[in-house]
Amino acid sequence: MLDNEEFMRDASPRELTQNPLRKIWMPCKNGHIAQRRVCMTNCPTLIVTVGLPARGKTYISKKLTRYLNWIGVPTKEFNVGQYRRECVKIYKSFEFFSPDNEEGLKIRRHCAMAALNDVRQYLSVEGGQVAVFDATNTTRERRETIVKFAEQNGFKVFFVESVCEDPDVIAQNIVQVKLGSPDYIHCNTEEAIEDFMKRIKCYESSYQPLDENLDRDLSFIKIMDVGRRYLVNRVDHMQSRIVYYLMNIHITPRSIYLCRHGESDLNIKGRIGGDSGLSARGKEFARSLRKYIQDQKIKDLKVWTSQMKRTIQTAECLGVPYEQWKSLNEIDAGVCEEMMYEEIQEHYPLEFALRDQDKYRYRYPKGESYEDLVQRLEPVIMELERQENILVICHQAVMRCLLAYFLDKTADELPYLKCPLHTVLKLTPLAYGCKVESIYLGVDAVNTHRDRPENVNVQRSTEDALQTVPGHL
């Protein structure tokens, strides 16, 4: 944030200059751009999960952390169970969680405080904006301790409670997630399930759910039976975004198919952007994609494309209905549209170098950055989370952004994810992640992937600048 005292000393309007990388206007003093930290929350937020074991709290925590990081809000998850496993190396049985086990209670309290101390360090010192405190937090006393901690440190608190009484959902969660826990690495399935069910019983006697009257002053969302019903109380802007996200996710098994359009005429020529049609090989890929999709016999498959000619031509060959999204259009290269990398280096060498220095945040003159693209794609992600089986036919930069969300990739990794032409990526969401299968459909295409060159200096030679440009006509 800008220094308020410095601003008050000099109340006259400051000179503005355009940041060459991001193309945004910023205050300038003595020829130097004033540094400021972009913050998407007006004060740090502590998200606190509430609920009995096997209610999906860690699933929610991990998804929420991934989503917030993807949209540019620095977020970190603090799983108290992990602190407990580091403190108590060998788990013996459910008796550790018994309300009568004084030693167990002492260790669990110590682990919770250690996690909260790390939360303080992350939000107050390391520049984090959101921390997710993942634990049962089933008693009002424990939640009051967390609220007091947050007030002392200037954090907002938002509780996320997951309530589920469906025995089938609980059993499925235990089998899918808990049996793979380090706690049960040396147990057979029956022993592990029996022990975990007894662990749940240890919490039930003292569980005090969030109450819309007793807890009316708290900010929270109560998720009932995996999204069948919700109760939302006192939310601010950031919390409302979190609520909207949580109301869109589901646990129904499904697959998401991502692919680029078939090879285009501009792809062959090594030119970026534009709105050209498919090459002969691109049309062949479209036919191969149709056969692949038919062979998969996917139930109720939906198909999305951008509004650009090459994705629509690809979808037309499938012979099924499809929906066009303007949000899925390729990144706008501005003044560099339809240019070859060699031409960009010749006409805009400074821009070419700046993009290599920070590809995620670099914005093309009169165009977009990957950072802009992520913001444009947020509604797409929300709708993807609501859908079941779906095929998205899109573009290289767009596919990288979508893939980074599902695979939890950083902003630095995102612009260099490999998304080759004529290859389908099948994503299958799992409890705490995503399984990826890459299916090459056997149709040759040009390589459009350009790695970051070793030399990103503005004064570099043309040879160094073009070091990683893929071959083309």
Q: Give me the catalytic one of 183, 215, 284, 330.
A: 330
Which range has the worst mean pLDDT, 34-43, 198-207, 211-220, 241-250? 34-43
- In 307-353 the beta strands, taken as DSSP E runs, fall at 323-324
Closest by CA position to 215, among listed 158, 163, 165: 158
- Confidence (pTM): 0.93
Instruction: Quickly count: other Cβ atoms within 10 Å of residue 364's Cβ.
Output: 22
Residue 470: which of 452, 446, 453 has the closest Cα? 446
Residue 31 has pLDDT above 70, yes or no: no
Instruction: Kindly tell me if the per-residue pLDDT of 71 is higher than 50.
Output: yes
CB distance 307 to 238 below 8 Å: no
Instruction: Confirm if 424 and 259 have CB atoms less than 8 A apart.
Output: yes
Sheet with 256-260, strands from edge to edge, namely 323-324, 302-305, 390-394, 256-260, 423-430, 433-440
Contacts with 161 (C-beta within 8 Å, 6 or more apart), sequence order: 49, 50, 51, 209, 210, 220, 221, 222, 223
pLDDT tens digits, 231-249: 999 999 999 999 999 999 9
The string of pLDDT tens digits covering residues 408-457 is 999 999 999 999 999 999 999 998 889 999 999 999 999 999 999 999 99
Length of the chain: 473
Tell me the C-alpha distance between 233 and 249, whole Å.
19
DSSP 442: S
Quote the pLDDT of residue 221.
98
Query: Is position 412 annotated as part of the catalytic site?
Result: no
Q: What is the rounded average pLDDT for all residues in the chain? A: 94
Residue 261 annotated in active site: yes
Please name the residues in contact with 34: beta carbons below 8 A apart, sequence gap of 6 or more. Answer: 2, 14, 26, 27, 28
Percentage helix, strand, coil for the chain under 3-state DSSP, each rounded to 5: 40, 15, 40
> Look-up: residue for tokens 């070091």?
467
What per-residue confidence (pLDDT) applies to 34? 61
The interaxial angle of helices 370-386 and 396-407, nearest 10 deg, is 60
For CA atoms 85, 90, 93, 98, give the dihedral sign: negative
The active-site residue, picked from 77, 134, 368, 385, is: 134
86 is catalytic: no
Q: How far apart are CA 187 and CA 284, in angstroms?
A: 52
pLDDT for position 1: 44
Structure-token match 């959101």, residue found: 130
The question of whether 419 is a catalytic residue gets the answer no
String of DSSP letters for 136-204: ---SHHHHHHHHHHHHHHT-EEEEEEEE---HHHHHHHHHHTGGGSGGGTTS-HHHHHHHHHHHHHHHH
Q: What is the signed CA dihedral for 352, 354, 357, 358, rounded to 10 degrees? A: -110
> If you compute the radius of gyration of the chain from its CA atoms, what whole number of angstroms results?
26
Burial of 229 (0-12, 13-18, 19+ CB in 10 A): exposed
pLDDT digits (tens, 9 = 90+) for 324-352: 999 999 999 999 999 999 999 999 999 99
How large is the average pLDDT for residues 182-205?
93
**pLDDT on residue 127:** 95
Residue type, 65: T
Active-site option among 111, 164, 259, 336: 164
Residue-wise pLDDT for 367-403, tens only, equals 999 999 999 999 999 999 999 999 999 999 999 999 9
Average pLDDT over residues 73-84: 97
Range with the lowest mean pLDDT among 9-18, 82-91, 166-175, 422-431?
Answer: 9-18
- Confidence band (pLDDT; 50, 70, 90) for 14? confident
> Is pLDDT at 138 greater than 80 in this prediction?
yes
